[in-house]
Chains A and B, each alone.
Chain A
Amino acid sequence: MSIGMKDVEHVANLARLELSVDEKEQFVGQLNAILKYAEKLGELDTDGVEPTSHVLPVTNVMREDVVKESLSNEAALLNAPDDEDGQFKVPAVLE
């Protein structure tokens, strides 16, 4: 599988990245080189092999449903680039 300009643009859109023409061209080359190297994995027969997402034998970790301290409004907004009335402010979503 090899990826072209269109694929790079599609993936950039999924990743919410805006790339310059230079960046796109560079990524076409570099991602192809990396993916070509990754094709190596195809040499291995992995039929019936369980995937490892995690090395620890833990799945869902539960705790008692008790109220705990949470962040204050002030702390949560401390690093906000823009805020108003105790809320994060963003450009209008609806026209």
Chain B
Amino acid sequence: MALFDMRLQDLHNELASGKLSAAELTEASYKRIAETDERIGAFLTLNEEGARARAAELDRSGAEKGLLHAMPAGIKDNIVTKGLRTTCASQFLTNYNPIYDATAAGKLNAAGAVTIGKLNMDEFAMGGSNENSSFRPVRNPWNTDYVPGGSSGGSAAAVAAGQVYFALGSDTGGSIRQPASYCGVVGLKPTYGLVSRFGLVAFASSLDAIGPLTKNVEDSAYVLQAIAGHDGMDSTSAEVAIPDYVSSLTGDVAGMHIGVPKEYMGQGIDPKVKESVLAALKVFESLGATWEEVSLPHTEYAVAAYYLLASSEASSNLARFDGVRYGVRADNPDNLLDLYRKSRSQGFGQEVKRRIMLGTYALSSGYYDAYYLKAQKVRTLIKRDFDQAFEKFDLLLGPTAPTPAFRIGEQIGDPLTMYLNDIVTIPVSLAGVPAISVPCGFVDGLPVGLQLIGKAFDEATVLRAAHAYEQNTDHHKARPQL
């Protein structure tokens, strides 16, 4: 078995017994990138010198080796890494050199992981196809004519292609789960506040969450373990006890009661995707879980509420990119105002401008109540749908996306259609609860993801159910031919 096909636990055992070194693992990662990334486009920046030095240091160190020790990791390029270029896939930040590490990146370092490089994405995490990267689009490793999803498309594609052994992504309305689904990997969006946002370049602050993309559920649990926890540097970081996620992977889901939102299985969902989800329910039944249909009646309003709220927050957050303190500054401005206008207009791509415009409009005088405040109230109704469902169910289950990946270029001219790809991930983000996407089959050679949604801070149950499903299916073992 190739190194990049192995579980983190197996690699760890090889390292612990001295059969494998950090240097070998790092080299294997760069070799794989050299072989495949011209076709995939997952990386924006490689950290070759830094990673090799780090691997050599880890091999010399006599310290106790934790599970992530020496594991080659990729980090989405909106998570800042000290001294390693961080662009958010935007021309605006082409040469941005962070002066500190994001908390999640620092925690991975502390756990011994090796940062291989920074991963491509939709510019400022706005998009669901990676076509909005201002450097190059990412291609789906299963079929390079297709999108990998987004915005964490580089993270999902790099893991699917075996370039890194796990990756960090960020999810605002589905940006970890949807690319995981399209690329046939496992993507976990933790509860809002479980993982510190310090050093995550803000898109929509009330929704943004950092989480792992991995080849399997056990690896996801290990990575989550390393990055979860309270952080004084993020005032929306939750003060909750962090359980041992890996020990929750018992394989036992007997007696678990699962709700299947009928709105997630209805109009707009590809019938073949639905079939894969129904087949997954049969697996859960065979393991002693029970399920029934449930209604989340405000689902159809989630996309509209989300695009108003997320764009409003984005218009405010992206005001910091003014060409004064960092990023690109336009040449020969007439005055300070002109400097702001020109720098922003030259630095931002179309989707980013579109969302800044939408958000600025929704927050502007005369429209605030009709759009922004209305959307916040609808968010309350959507959250209540979940609160009520979780009074009865341990877990909710549905597809991660309505369809498998689409062709590059197919939807780029139609923003609204593109936004509707997120119809089953967005409500979960608005409610702030955790959800995982795990591979549950293929439609026409492209992967399909199963979404398992849990109660706030109950990642342990989400992971346990996903792991039990995985242990009884082979979908996660399939690999793209590259």
* Interface residues of A, Cβ cutoff 8 Å to B: 1, 3, 7-8, 10-12, 14-19, 23, 27, 30-31, 33-35, 37-38, 40-44, 46, 49-56, 58, 61, 63, 71, 75-76, 78-82, 88, 90-93
B353 with A23: CB separation less than 8 A = yes
A71 with B99: CB separation less than 8 A = yes
Q: Which residues of chain B have C-beta atoms less than 8 A from A43's C-beta?
A: 301
- Tell me the bound Cα distance from A17 to B340 in angstroms: 8
Please name 12 pairs of A and B residues whose Cβ atoms are closer than 8 Å in the assembled complex, sorted by A.
A14-B360, A15-B315, A15-B360, A18-B342, A41-B375, A44-B301, A55-B192, A56-B238, A63-B232, A76-B99, A79-B325, A80-B326
Give a binary string over B80-122; 1 marks a CB under 8 Å from any A CB, 0 the rest.
0000000000000001110100000000000000000000000
- Tell me the bound Cα distance from A54 to B378 in angstroms: 13
CB A21 to nearest CB in B, in angstroms, measures 13
Residue in contact with A34 in the complex, picked from B95, B344, B415, CB distance below 8 Å: B415
Given A15-B315, A17-B345, A30-B354: A40 in contact with B304 (beta carbons within 8 A): yes
Tell me, yes or no, whether B357 is within 8 Å of chain A by CB.
Answer: yes
B341 with A18: CB separation less than 8 A = yes
B193 with A33: CB separation less than 8 A = no
Query: Among the listed stretches B22-30, B61-69, B181-189, B327-335, which one makes contact with chain A, having 4 or more residues with CB under 8 Å of it?
Result: B327-335
CB A44 to nearest CB in B, in angstroms, measures 6
Q: Which residues of chain B have C-beta atoms less than 8 A from A52's C-beta?
A: 376-377, 379-380, 383, 430
- Within 383-411 of B, Cβ neighbours of A (below 8 Å) are at 383
Closest A residue to B456 using CB positions? A55
Q: A31-B357, A34-B358, A46-B380 are in contact. List 19 more A-B contacts (CB 8 A).
A: A11-B357, A12-B357, A16-B319, A16-B322, A17-B353, A17-B356, A31-B361, A33-B415, A33-B416, A38-B307, A41-B308, A53-B376, A55-B432, A56-B236, A56-B238, A78-B99, A79-B326, A80-B325, A81-B326
Give a binary string over B359-385; 1 marks a CB under 8 Å from any A CB, 0 the rest.
011001001001101111111110100
A11 with B383: CB separation less than 8 A = no
Most A Cβ at <10 Å: residue of B298, B375, B419:
B375
CB A53 to nearest CB in B, in angstroms, measures 6
Closest B residue to A20 using CB positions? B345
- Tell me the bound Cα distance from A40 to B381 in angstroms: 14
Q: Which residues of chain B have C-beta atoms less than 8 A from A18's C-beta?
A: 341-342, 344-345
Tell me, yes or no, whether B241 is within 8 Å of chain A by CB.
Answer: no
Tell me, yes or no, whether B295 is within 8 Å of chain A by CB.
Answer: no
Q: Which residues of chain B have C-beta atoms less than 8 A from A78's C-beta?
A: 97, 99
Q: Which residues of chain B have C-beta atoms less than 8 A from A79's C-beta?
A: 95-97, 99, 325-327
Tell me, yes or no, whether B337 is within 8 Å of chain A by CB.
Answer: yes
Residue in contact with B329 in the complex, picked from A3, A8, A42, A81, CB distance below 8 Å: A81
CB A36 to nearest CB in B, in angstroms, measures 9
- Tell me the bound Cα distance from A51 to B372 in angstroms: 10
- Tell me the bound Cα distance from A14 to B361 in angstroms: 9
Given A8-B357, A30-B354, A55-B192: A17 in contact with B344 (beta carbons within 8 A): yes
A88 with B344: CB separation less than 8 A = no
Q: Which residues of chain B have C-beta atoms less than 8 A from A11's C-beta?
A: 357, 360-361, 364
